[in-house]
Every structure is written in C-alpha cells, then in structure tokens.
Amino acid sequence: MNPMLQTWAGPYGGVPPWNQVRPEQFVASFDLAISTALAELDTIANNPEPPTFENTIVAMESAGRALLRLESLFGVYESNLNLGPVPDIERVVAPKLAEYQDKVTQHEKLFARIATVYEQTKPSDLTVAQYRLLDDRYKQFVRRGAKLNAEQKAKLSQINLRLATLFTNFSQNVLADEQTIIWVDSAAELTGVPDSIVASFAAAAAEHGEPNRWAVSNTRSAMEPLLTYAHNRALRENVWRTYYNRGDNGDDHDNNAIIAEILKLRAARAKLLGYETHAHWRLEPQMAKTPAAAMDLMMKVWPKAVARVREEVADMQKIADAEGNGIKIEPWDYRYYAEQVRKDKYDLDFNQVKPYMQLDKLREGMHWAAGQLFGLQFRPIGDVPVFHPDVKVWEVTDAQGKHVGLWYLDPYAREGKRSGAWMTAYREQENMGSPVTPIVSNNSNFVKAAEGEPVLISWDDAETLFHEFGHALHGLLSNVNYPSQAGTSVARDYVEFPSQINEHWLPTREVLNRFAVHYKTGEPLPQELADKIAKAATFNQGFATVEYLASALVDMKLHLAGDADINPDTFERVTLAELGMPSEIVMRHRTPQFSHIFSGDSYSAGYYSYLWADALTADAAEAFVEAGGYYDPEVAKRLHDTVLSVGDTIDPAEGFRRFRGRDVDTNALLRDRGFPVE
C-alpha cells in the first residue's frame, strides 16, 4: 500500500502524490518496484503463446509502471530537492537502477521474443508507428548488449554499475560548489547593477540571516547580470572564477579524476559493444548518425563565429582603451564591455528593457501564444499537491475545453536545486485502449525579488523561459498510442527543435504589446525599444556561438579519443588552443562542471545537438516568415501535425520534410546568426 508506488489518484487522471512522499522510504520502495518490474517482464518472457507484436512489444509498454512512477518522484528530489538524506539516497539508488537496466536488456528469454517478432515482421505488417517501435526496441536491446556472451555481459554490467556511481558523484560535487555564495559587504561594490538585481541579492542575504549584506548565488541567473553591469572589476572576476571553477578547485568536490574514469569506462563499453568510440555508439540512433556529420556542421560554423568574436573584442577593446585603465579584455570583462558596445552601436540598454520583463506576465505571454497557435488554454489550479511552496500548477485544455494535461512551474533558485533550466515529464501521454494525459513541468533558477516586488528577468532569461516551455508544449501536444514514443522521446539532436522554435514568439509584437509591460506603469514596451532589440538580434552572436560550440567540440573530441589517458583540464586547454579559441571567452560549460555529459549518458557526445536542432529551427522559422508571420495558422498547424504531436512515431528527418516540404537548408542557421553564407 506504499503510496509512492500506487497508481496516482486524484483529479485530472491522477496526480503525483507529493504530500505522501517520504524520502526515507525511497530505497525500500525502489527495491520493491524493481522486483515487481522484473517479475512483470518475466511474465512476458515466459508467455507460452508464440511471440507477437501485441503480447511482447505492446506488453512491455505496460510493464514496470510502478517503477516509472517512483522514478518520476525521485527525479524531482534529485534535481529540485537535493537536500538532507537525498544525496546519500541517490548514491544507493543510482546503481540499483543501472543494475535493473542491465537485467532488462540482458534478459535472454525476453530478447529472444523481441528478436523473433523483429525477424518475422515486415514493415507492411504494422503501422508506421508500430514498426518503428518494434525496430527501436530491438536495436535498443542490441545496442545495450543483448547479443553479448555471458562473460561480456558481466563486464558490461560492471561498467554500467560503476558509471552510475560516478555520474552521481559528479552531480553531487557540482551541486555542492553551486551552494557557494559570494558575499558583498557594501552597496558601493554593486554600482552599475540594476536596482532590481541588487534588491534580489539583498533578499537572498536576508534569507541567510545577513540583512546588512548582499548574497550573489553561484548560478547563471545571478552571475550573468552581475558580470554584465557591475563596474567593480575585482568583484566581476571573483564571481566569474567562482562560477566557472565549479568542480575544478582541487578539493573534495573536484571532478577531474571522476571525468577521467568516466571517459575510460565509456571507451571500454563502446569497444565491448563493437563500436569504434563512445561517440560512434551514441550517435548511431540520432539524426546525425555519425560523429563526422556532427563535426562537419560544427566546423562549418566555428571559423565564422571565431571571426565574429575577433570583431566583437576589437570593438570592446576600443572602449576599454578610451577609459585609460590599461585593461585588456578578459573573460570576466566580456559581458560588461559587450553591453557598452551594444549601447554605443544600437543605442540599446537592456537596463531600460528589464522593467518590462516581469516573470509572471511573460509566463502569461507564453500561455497566450500557445493558445493562438495551438488552441491551448491554461487555468491555474490549487487542488493538487506540490513538492515545494514555490511550485504552481495549471490545467491545460484544448480549444473545446477538453482536458489536455497539467503544467507545473518551479521557477526559483534555492539550496538543493541544481542550476540551469529544464523540462521534466512526470507522466507521458499515451492511448493504449484508454487515454492517459501528460503531466509536465518547467524548472528554472530565477532569483526571487524583494517582498512585494515583481520578479524582473533579463531578456536572455526570458528566451530561456520560452525555450523550456517549448519542451513542455512538445509533451503536452503529444498524440500517440505508445508512451515510449510520446512527447520528447525523440532523437537527442531533434528534441531541441521544438524548444528552440518556441523562442521565436517572445520578440513578436503580439506578445510584447500585451505582456512586456512596465511593472509600475503597465505601459507596453515602447516600439522604439522593440525595434532596437530586433535590430541588435545578431549582436554578440560571436560570443554566444563560440561559448556554446567550444563546449560541443570538446565534448565530441573527448568521446572520440577512445581509451587514451585523459587529464580533463589539460585536454580542455590543449583542444581549445588547437581550435583557436579566443582567450577572452571560456566554454559555456567547462569540463569539470559539464553536467550535460558527465551526470549521465543522455547528452554525452551529444552537446552538438543544440546546433543541429538550431539548423532545423532557423529553417522552420523562415517558413513562418515566408507565410507572413509567426501566427500563420496553416504553418502552425503543420508544425503541430508533423512535429509536436507525433513524438517518435516517424523518423525525425521525415517529419521535418513534411513540415518544410524539403530537407533542411543549413544556410538558414548562418543567416539567423548574421554570419556569411557560403
């Protein structure tokens, strides 16, 4: 009768029972859920009837439901509530889940049934979605070692078990360093920083019992505005070093040895599975298919981005030289002087924009745009449990008022919450006999405002807000039969396409006029400011692209290095030097804190995915422009029908072709960033 394992009860088709979660029960609950899931798979494997698509592949879609529910609950504790006993629980649970996954894919009787169905079924015997599910399931088992001999399987399990522990240790180290606070003792040290940000630093300090100081948390949402506006160069450097040295301080939370071992184990696993490198193994099921294809796209953009950085730095250095302080632009200066150049070139001061960037109003704007495009309506509700007082919930309905799903929002930074922004699916959409509606969440790390004041966010943070909501829409608009194919369960280098295209609705006048309103006067963002933002859309793209691509290139090269002995810091430094990395910029995610690729396998050798998806995004955005605007109903319907609703039921390249009428034009990516087109 453990409520953490039971089918979710309550309204809206059942909701996560956050009020009944007991962290101390997680380990025992996982033991029970895993044993139950394995028993359910044994039943499928030992079915005396000949294997068929229905009694094997579809049956597997319904197995392990209690475990999936428990993983959803625990996943939130890992990412949003990682306090108290949770880190130690995670260290116990992660290996258990790795061991379970190996037991599934190494289940000989189960794989024999899957293989029989696969070998005896022609594509014409099933629907396109069904055959894709069968094909994916079979290849997934093979890619995870189902065809290895007993000795090889044992070795694979040892590797996966050790990796699970290392991933957890890496994450906990980064989280520990993110709890660091940079204390400021005088308001004079924050000269230049917008009043709303200074007030949020004061509020954070008060929460820590320091009402006469200012606390700068070690998160991107706090770091970026300080580096952009603070006149105090020494403070900028301190904040910059604290943020970019996470996991790289030579102390108990240093991640370099962990990374070296992860890379060795990944290389060994890839060879065991018959692949040249970990990168080849990871990219096989993606759109790119091969590391060479991913590298080709990145290197098409890299030199153009570096050339643009040279121009940006020259513009900044002129301003620094005019100040007469003998300053050479360093990484902690880049954002600060870039802002000066923006003011000089475009007469655009984002300090003038920020009073119009109210978090709550922009959230309303996202909802409104989703209504205009896809007919979705969002109604705040208070009749479901939440895991923290900050969390708010909305019921989502369609244009006819039919229930679509639930959307949770956890917007603020706090102790025990990992940095960044992300989307989580608590429950996937499905329709295997009776429809199941999705439950999704967006999670951010905005800094809370002072009591009674609205939360004002930067333009970049607003873009991130819309980005993550694009993932949520991908989950909410899913309309498939099988949960394994629902929503964001698509190729890693395709999953960012729906989120990146959603960023394009933020700067539309329809959103800005209604929802970018001044927090005091209620007046909309002036057309003059909106025009300046549009005119400066490609400003600083050198920095943004190089910062990102450096991380993606290092990720790929790390995982193409095979079983070489790697010192992560040295590899990062040498690789960037070989690439001609400008000294004024560092990787967006330096290796010792690169959680995308070292807290799990999902984005490893896959950080290029954002650029790959951005090529699709830029081309898709041009489809709206060609049709007359971002609210064109025909293009919006085509986006819904070919991308957002179909999940993984069709090949993503085919889905894009159906949307655009042709393969992607990668030159659209260069045009979007203001780079020369070949």
Assign 460 a pLDDT band (cuts: 50, 70, 90): very high
Helix, coil or strand: residue 20: helix
Q: Is residue 313 part of a domain?
A: no
| Number of domains within the chain | 3
Please write the tens of the pLDDT for every residue from 314-358: 999 999 999 999 999 999 999 999 999 999 999 999 989 999 999
> What integer best gives the mean pLDDT of the chain?
97
What's the pLDDT band for 494 if we cut at 50, 70, 90? very high
What is the model's pLDDT at position 1? 78
pLDDT in tens, 100-154: 999 999 999 999 999 999 999 999 999 999 999 999 999 999 999 999 999 999 9
Helix pair angle (256-272, 568-579), 10° resolution: 80
Q: Tell me the pLDDT band of 159, cut-offs 50, 70 and 90.
A: very high
Q: How confident is the model at residue 450 (pLDDT cuts 50, 70, 90)?
A: confident
- Which pLDDT belongs to residue 678? 76
Alpha-carbon dihedral sign for residues 41, 45, 46, 51: positive
Chain segment 506-538, per-residue pLDDT in tens: 999 999 999 999 999 999 999 999 999 999 999
Residues 410 and 524 in one domain: yes
pLDDT, position 271: 98
| Burial classification of residue 419, based on how many CB atoms lie within 10 Å of its CB (0-12 exposed, 13-18 middle, 19 or more buried) | buried
Q: Could you give the CA distance from residue 486 to residue 131 in angstroms, rounded to a whole number?
A: 15
415's CB contacts (< 8 A; 6+ apart) are 83, 179
Cα–Cα separations (whole angstroms), residue 316 to 135, 312, 334, 419: 54, 6, 8, 29
Q: Which of 228, 244, 260 marks a domain boundary?
A: 244
Whether 228 maps to a domain, the answer reads yes
The two three-digit tokens of residue 481, written as one number: 């039969």
CA distance 291 to 555: 11
- Three-class DSSP category at 13: coil
What does the alpha-carbon distance between residue 654 and residue 633 come to, in Å, rounded to a whole number? 22
Sequence-distant (6+) residues with CB within 8 A of 55 are 44, 47, 49
Select from 94, 127, 147 the last residue of a domain.
147
The whole-angstrom separation of Cα 191 and Cα 175 is 29
* 469 within some domain: yes
Structure tokens at 32: 């029970």
Residues 237 and 115 in one domain: no
Task: Say whether both 199 and 116 belong to one domain.
Answer: no
403-412 vs 214-217, strand pairing mode: unpaired
Please give the model's pTM, rounded to 2 decimal places: 0.95
Secondary structure tally for the chain: helices H, strands E? 27, 9
Any idea which residues carry the catalytic annotation? 468
In a shared domain, residues 132 and 198: no
| 328 exposure class (CB count in 10 Å sphere: 0-12, 13-18, 19+) | exposed
Q: What is the pLDDT of residues 231-271, one digit of tens each?
A: 999 999 999 999 999 999 999 999 999 999 999 999 999 99
Residue 432 placed within a domain: yes
> Does residue 433 have a pLDDT over 90?
no
The burial class, CB within 10 Å (0-12 / 13-18 / 19+), for 646 is: buried
* Residue 674, pLDDT above cutoff 90: yes
pLDDT at 564 over 80: yes
CA 50 to mean position of chain CA atoms: 42
Residues 134 and 186 in one domain: no
Asked whether residue 514 is domain-assigned, the answer is yes
Based on the domain organization, do 187 and 141 belong to the same domain? no
Quote the percentage of the chain above a pLDDT of 70. Answer: 100
What pLDDT shows up at residue 522? 97
Last residue within a domain, chosen from 104, 131, 147: 147
Paired residues of 422 in beta bridges? 443
Q: Identify whether 285 is part of a domain.
A: no
Regarding whether 191 and 125 lie in a shared domain, the answer is no
Rounded distance, CA 658 to CA 639, Å? 9
User: Are residue 195 and residue 132 in the same domain, yes or no?
Assistant: no
What integer pLDDT is reported at residue 95 of this predicted model? Answer: 97
Is residue 665 within 8 Å of residue 620, measured between CB atoms? no
Residue 621 has pLDDT above 80, yes or no: yes
> In DSSP terms, which residues pair with 397 in a beta bridge?
377, 403
What CATH number did the domain enclosing 478 receive?
1.10.1370.40
Query: Is residue 554 scored above 80 in pLDDT?
Result: yes
Answer for the pair 323, 528: CB distance below 8 angstroms, yes or no: no
- Report the distance separating Cα 73 and Cα 386, nearest Å: 11
The set of residues, in sequence order, having a beta carbon less than 8 Å from that of 154 and lying 6+ positions away, is none
Instruction: Say if 317 falls within a structural domain.
Output: no
Task: Give, for 242, the enclosing helix (H) or strand (E).
Answer: helix 233-244
- Residues 391, 488: one domain? yes
Whether pLDDT at 548 is above 90: yes
pLDDT tens column, 202-235:
999 999 999 999 999 999 989 999 999 999 999 9
We report the CATH number of the domain holding residue 58 as 1.20.1050.40
Q: Which residues are registered as beta bridge partners of 182? A: 216
Instruction: Write the DSSP symbol of residue 209.
Output: T
Helix (H) or strand (E) holding 210: none
Six token digits for residue 317: 């250095």
| Enclosing domain of residue 531 | 355-535
Which amino acid, residue 263? L
Percentage of the chain beyond pLDDT 90 is 98
Q: What is the pLDDT of residues 30-65, one digit of tens each?
A: 999 999 999 999 999 999 999 999 999 999 999 999
d(C-alpha 470, C-alpha 583), whole Å: 34
Q: β-strand 377-381 against 430-432: which pairing, if any?
A: unpaired
> Which tokens hold the place of 167?
């991933």
Find the mean pLDDT for residues 408-433. 96
Structural domain contains residue 131: yes
The confidence score (pLDDT) of residue 245 equals 98
DSSP state of 404: E
Q: Region 81-85: what's the mean pLDDT?
A: 96
Residue 132 and residue 187 in one domain: no
Distance separating alpha carbons of residues 417 and 70, to the nearest angstrom: 19
**427: alpha, beta or left? (left if phi > 0; alpha if psi -120 to 50):** beta
Question: Is 189 within 8 Å of 235 (Cβ atoms)?
Answer: yes
Q: Is the four-CA dihedral 206, 211, 214, 215 of positive or negative sign?
A: negative
Looking at the fold, whether 433 and 514 belong to one and the same domain comes out as yes
Is the same domain home to 63 and 201? no
Chain Cα centroid distance, residue 283? 18
Q: How high is the pLDDT of residue 31?
A: 98
